[in-house]
């Protein structure tokens, strides 16, 4: 489990505060040379985790939702800055709803596999054995869109959107 | 349908059926599954319920306009799908109305297809709901009978020479 707060480690009688992604990787016993750079991970996140309509997120979306400044994001994405605080990394990776374990992957393929992990897809079950009316289809669509918006808001620490108005269906 | 597996799934919940209320049961299921379960009664357009699972939450929507017994049954039926692991990851039928609509919303949605396995899963969920309702009925009554207000219900009337009907 990834620590939510900086953690104090004792290594060779030295105290190490796990404060940055480099510390986190060190704590996992991973050599920096072996793993994907944070810049590569960020670029893969933007490429493979899209909006619900399939269009890519923009840096401004992430910046607005996470509070990480656009300039800092730009430095990290370009690789001009390789290390950052855990708080920043958690905010960005959390925005894309991916496990922090992505910081430990070694290849782009592993990262993409984590990003596209099917366990994070929405599973829907309804009475599909019978034909659903156009109204029912529209309503199911509204419910799913609300769930997606709600979970997105929760991840981004934003107010939960109001549930759909079903008065039309009464 | 493997009725033994379904009954075993109900028994493994280790739930105190005499305490049953829908809210209490939902809380218990969320504890067992170690993830939030959101159950919402809404006026649905001609179908009794649906179940959604995301990475972090489970959602059940049931039709508030239906009779209370059917509302209860639908909630138990949808909970059954969660507890029986009816969560196959399958691609949408892109040619169906529902498939094309959902893919338009989110290309990562998966919907259980209409195939023989789904039919079996629906049967299992129905059986799960029926078993649970049987437990509720039995335990609820037994519990009520042990309350002082219902004490008269479990004692035979004093012997007067006239036999009691029944059995």
Looking at residue A51, what is its pLDDT?
A: 66
Give me the residue from B42, B49, B54 closest to A122, CB to CB. B54
Q: Closest-CA residue in chain A for B106?
A: A52
- CATH number for the region A7-120 comes to 1.10.260.40
In the structure encoding, which two tokens stand for residue B10, read together? 């109900």
Tell me if A122 and B110 make a contact (CB, 8 A cut-off): yes
Looking at residue A6, what is its pLDDT?
A: 44
For residue B37, give the H/E element and its range: strand B37-42
Tell me if A124 and B50 make a contact (CB, 8 A cut-off): yes
Sequential DSSP letters for chain A: ---SS-EEEEETTEEEEE-BHHHHHHHTT--GGGS--HHHHHHHHHHHSB-TTSPBPPHHHHHHHH---HHHHHHHHHTS----BHHHHHHHHHHTT--GGGGG--SHHHHHHHHT-GGGSPEEE--TTSPPPHHHHHHHHHHHHHHHHHHHHHHTT-PPPPPP--GGG-
Judging contacts by C-beta atoms under 8 Å, the chain B residues touching residue A129 are 114, 118-119, 122
Tell me if A144 and B87 make a contact (CB, 8 A cut-off): no
Residue A100 has pLDDT above 50, yes or no: yes
Mutate to test the interface with A, among B80, B108, B112 (most CBs of A within 10 A): B108
The count of CB pairs under 8 A between chains A and B is: 123
Looking at residue B101, what is its pLDDT?
A: 57
Q: CA separation (Å) from B125 to A21, A60, A132?
A: 45, 45, 20
Tell me if A129 and B108 make a contact (CB, 8 A cut-off): no
B 81-110 residues with CB below 8 A of A? 81, 86-87, 89, 97-98, 101-102, 105-110
Residue A14 has pLDDT above 50, yes or no: no
Tens digits of per-residue pLDDT, A28-73? 776 666 788 899 999 999 988 876 556 788 888 888 888 899 999 9
Question: How many angstroms separate the CA of residue B4 from the nearest CA in chain A?
Answer: 23
| Mean pLDDT in residue range A92-101 | 82
Q: Could you say which residues of chain B have pLDDT below 70?
A: 87-118, 145, 147-167
Judging contacts by C-beta atoms under 8 Å, the chain B residues touching residue A160 are none
Q: Closest-CA residue in chain B for A166?
A: B43
Tens digits of per-residue pLDDT, A123-149? 566 555 456 677 887 788 788 878 877
Give the integer Cα–Cα distance in Å for A77 and A59.
10
Give the integer Cα–Cα distance in Å for B22 and B7.
19
Question: How many angstroms separate the CA of residue B9 from the nearest CA in chain A?
Answer: 20
Q: What's the pLDDT band for A77 if we cut at 50, 70, 90?
A: very high
Tell me if A141 and B101 make a contact (CB, 8 A cut-off): yes
Q: What's the pLDDT band for A153 if we cut at 50, 70, 90?
A: confident
Tell me if A121 and B108 make a contact (CB, 8 A cut-off): yes
Looking at residue A160, what is its pLDDT?
A: 86
Among A5-14, A15-24, A142-151, the range scoring the smallest mean pLDDT is A5-14
Give the integer Cα–Cα distance in Å for A116 and A98.
9
Is the C-alpha dihedral spanning A28, A32, A34, A40 positive or negative? Answer: positive
SS3 at position B103: helix
- Longest Cα–Cα distance of chain A, Å, equals 68
Q: For chain A, which residues make up each domain, given as ranges?
A: 7-120, 134-169
What do you get for the CA distance between the two ends of chain A, in Å? 46
Give the integer Cα–Cα distance in Å for A28 and A23.
9
Phi, psi of A165 (to 5 degrees): -85, 110
Phi, psi of B123 (to 5 degrees): -65, -45
Tell me if A129 and B122 make a contact (CB, 8 A cut-off): yes
Kindly give, in sequence order, each residue whose CB lies less than 8 Å from that of residue B43, ignoring residues fewer than 6 positions away: A166, A169, A170, B63, B64, B65
Tell me if B45 and A144 make a contact (CB, 8 A cut-off): no
In the structure encoding, which two tokens stand for residue B114, read together? 């209409």
Residue A169 has pLDDT above 90, yes or no: no
In the structure encoding, which two tokens stand for residue A166, read together? 């079903």
Mutate to test the interface with B, among A96, A128, A153 (most CBs of B within 10 A): A128
Residue with tokens 């649905």: B44
Looking at residue B42, what is its pLDDT?
A: 87
A26: closest CA among A94, A93, A103? A103
């Amino acid at each position: 489990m990834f620590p939510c707060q900086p953690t104090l480690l004792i290594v060779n009688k030295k105290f190490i505060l796990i404060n940055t992604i480099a510390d986190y990787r060190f704590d996992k016993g991973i050599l920096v040379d072996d793993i994907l750079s944070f810049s590569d991970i960020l670029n893969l996140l933007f490429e493979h985790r899209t909006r619900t309509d399939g269009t890519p997120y923009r840096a401004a979306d992430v910046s607005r939702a996470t509070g990480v400044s656009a300039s800092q994001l730009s430095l990290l994405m370009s690789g001009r800055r390789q290390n950052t605080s855990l708080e920043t990394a958690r905010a960005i990776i959390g925005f894309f709803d991916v496990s922090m374990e992505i910081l430990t992957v070694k290849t782009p393929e592993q990262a993409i596999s984590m990003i596209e992990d099917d366990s994070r897809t929405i599973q829907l079950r309804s009475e599909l054995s019978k034909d659903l009316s156009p109204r029912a289809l529209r309503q199911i669509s509204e419910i799913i869109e609300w769930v997606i918006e709600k979970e997105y808001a929760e991840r981004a620490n934003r107010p939960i959107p109001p549930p759909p108005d079903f008065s039309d269906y009464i | 349908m493997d009725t033994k597996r379904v009954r075993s799934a109900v028994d493994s919940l280790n739930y105190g059926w005499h305490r049953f209320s829908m809210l209490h049961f939902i809380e218990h299921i969320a504890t067992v599954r170690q993830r939030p379960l959101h159950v919402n009664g809404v006026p649905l357009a001609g179908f009794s319920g649906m179940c959604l699972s995301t990475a972090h939450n489970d959602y059940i929507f049931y039709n508030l306009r239906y009779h209370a017994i059917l509302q209860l049954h639908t909630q138990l039926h949808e909970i059954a799908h969660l507890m029986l692991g009816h969560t196959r990851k399958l691609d949408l039928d892109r040619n169906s109305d529902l498939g094309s609509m959902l893919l338009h919303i989110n290309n990562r949605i998966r919907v259980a297809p209409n195939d023989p396995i789904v039919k079996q899963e629906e049967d299992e969920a129905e059986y799960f709901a029926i078993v649970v309702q049987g437990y509720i009925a039995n335990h609820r009554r037994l519990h009520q009978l042990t309350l002082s207000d219902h004490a008269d219900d479990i004692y035979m009337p004093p012997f007067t020479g006239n036999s009691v009907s029944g059995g």
